[in-house]
Amino acid sequence: MSHFALIGLGLIFAAASSKVVIRAIRQSKAAKAGGLSLDSSRAKLYMGPFENPMTRREASLILGVRESAPEDKILSAHKRLMLLNHPDNGGSTYLATKVNEAKGVLIQK
């Protein structure tokens, strides 16, 4: 009887530890992609409210760059956010629109 109890405890431990490993892998993939997962305690996401028309300050908050950031930083932030929020990848059409609008506001020629 004790062997069955030990096997059961081992299976419970394996299931719990695999859940932790899977969560760590997802967070590391999000970090490698340049984004933050929603599970991350470091996530600083701009949650709105959105202004109409969008200001440079709001655009910089959305993209996570300074208002005076160079174009290459703006484009890399835009790409990173679009990879995470594109509707084809299960993201929100509204958020993708706001990310594109923020890029347009910050890169005005």
Q: DSSP secondary structure string, 73-84?
A: HHHHHHHHHHHH
Q: With contact defined as beta carbons under 8 Å apart, do 67 and 56 qualify?
A: yes
Q: Residue 56 has what pLDDT?
A: 92
18 and 55 inside one domain = no
96: tokens are: 């993708």
34 and 80 inside one domain = no
**For the segment 37-49, what is each residue's pLDDT rounded down to a tens digit?**
444 444 466 666 7
Tokens 């028309």 locate to 53
CA 76 to CA 90: how far, in whole Å? 21
Instruction: Determine the structural domain holding residue 102 and report its residue range.
Output: 45-109
Q: Supply the pTM of this predicted model.
A: 0.57
77 and 99 inside one domain = yes
CA 102 to CA 28: how far, in whole Å? 27
User: What separation, in Å, do the N-terminal and C-terminal C-alpha atoms of the chain show?
Assistant: 76
**For the segment 75-85, what is each residue's pLDDT rounded down to a tens digit?**
999 999 998 88
Cα 11 to chain center, whole Å?
33
Q: How many domains are contained in the chain?
A: 2
Q: Residue 89 has what pLDDT?
A: 83
Least confident of 26-30, 64-68, 70-74: 26-30
* Strand boundaries in 43-101, DSSP class E: none
109 and 67 inside one domain = yes
